[in-house]
Every structure is written in C-alpha cells, then in structure tokens.
Chains A and B, each alone.
Chain A
C-alpha cells in the first residue's frame, strides 16, 4: 500500500512564525503536491513538484514556498505565518503520467 505521511496532525503557531510542514511518501512517486482545504473552497493546489529540486506554483502559492531535496520528501514552508493561513494542509503523491493521487492524513494548522 502507498503510504503518505505528514509530520504533524495538529499544529498551533503564532503570527509571524516560520512554519515547516513535512511530507514523506514511500512508493518512489515522481509527483508530489501540497493542497489546502477550506470549507466551501475544496482542495486548492499550492505547489507541486515532478522531480527532485523541481517545483511549480499551483493556484495559490502566495505566502508559501516548498523544498524537494529528496524524491520521497516534499516540504511546505510558511515564511511568516498569518491568520488567513489557518487551514487543513494535505500532501499527495502520484506516479509520473498517472492521475491518481494518494493523500496523507492532513495537518490542521491554526495560526493565532
């Protein structure tokens, strides 16, 4: 079974803090994705990566950056957390040329 793990299930941070969300997948997938899920807005793509050290902006990249130094690991960075970044963050991975994405359990981030 594909496994996608995320470093924290729940996280509480203060405004202005730098926040790191880690995602690891164990199936040698080329593609990795970061989404946020908000009520009524569905899943919105923040960033994705189709190879090590490669990254592409999704639909809502502002206020975020990413890092992919190893194939299995994709990190989302909030440079200076703000209250409007309070959300559920979901990481996913997929094989190159395949559409089905496998999701991690999510990180519920609260920024106070």
Chain B
C-alpha cells in the first residue's frame, strides 16, 4: 500500500515559469514532510520541509504548501531554471517514531527547458 504518492512521473516546463510538483498521502498520522532532489548518479539531497502545524514554508525559489484536509502537499519552484532538472521525491514521517523513518513517493522527473 503506497502511503505517499506522486502521481505525475514527469513534468516539463519552460525556463522562468513556475514548476508545481504534487504529492498525496494517506496516513493521517504523518506530521512532517520533506522534499528531496536527486540528480543522476548522485544521492538525494534535502530541499525543503514542512511541519503539519504550518501550511506553507518558503526558502528562496522553493515553496512547499500543505493541505492537511486534502492530505496533499505541493512544491512550487519559481522561477524554474535548467539546473532544477532532476527527480524530486516527497517524503513523510510521523513524530511518534524516534527512528526518523521516512516514507518516500515514487518521484517526479522535472525537465526545465531553456
């Protein structure tokens, strides 16, 4: 049972435009969400996170929105740059666990065209 889902395997946008990556989850116990970015032949790197007590978190060009009632989060990248082309994974955890275990989605491949 996939508790974290990224239903769009790929997304293509023009440089300078907005990229919106979506993620849905099923477990209402999740209270912390993260986005990771992965280039080919490298490990994922942490991008941005959000706690369930917030509905928005911003870091430069990256903003994550959380809609708890819909169990949905999204990552906005504005403006998109060719260097943003990568695979993006969303991940979720619940705070009752002290193991730091994350549940990852399937990933969305973003291509930003010059």
Which residues of A come within 8 Å of B, CB atoms?
Answer: 4, 9, 31, 33, 35, 40-45, 48, 50, 56, 58, 90, 92, 94-106, 108
Q: How many A-B residue pairs have CB under 8 A?
A: 66
Docked pose: A100 CA to B33 CA in angstroms? 10
Query: How far does the Cβ of B45 sit from chain A's closest Cβ, in whole Å?
Result: 7
Q: Which chain A positions have C-beta within 8 A of B6? A: 42
B42–A106 CB distance below 8 A? yes
Which residues of B come within 8 Å of A, CB atoms?
Answer: 6, 9, 32, 34, 36, 41-46, 49, 89, 91, 93, 98-107
Docked pose: A35 CA to B89 CA in angstroms? 13
The residue on B at minimum CB distance from A102 is B46
Beyond A40-B106, A45-B103, 12 extra complex contacts between A and B, CB < 8 Å: A35-B104, A41-B106, A42-B6, A42-B89, A42-B104, A48-B99, A50-B99, A99-B32, A99-B34, A100-B34, A103-B43, A104-B43
Query: How far does the Cβ of A29 sit from chain B's closest Cβ, in whole Å?
Result: 9
B9–A90 CB distance below 8 A? no
Q: Which of B32, B45, B49, B100 contacts A94 (CB 8 A)?
A: B100
Q: Which chain A positions have C-beta within 8 A of B104? A: 35, 42-44
Q: Which of A35, A41, A99, A104 contacts B100 (CB 8 A)?
A: A99
Q: Which chain A positions have C-beta within 8 A of B9? A: 40
Docked pose: A56 CA to B44 CA in angstroms? 22
B98–A106 CB distance below 8 A? no
Docked pose: A45 CA to B97 CA in angstroms? 15
B98–A97 CB distance below 8 A? yes
The residue on B at minimum CB distance from A45 is B101
B44–A96 CB distance below 8 A? no
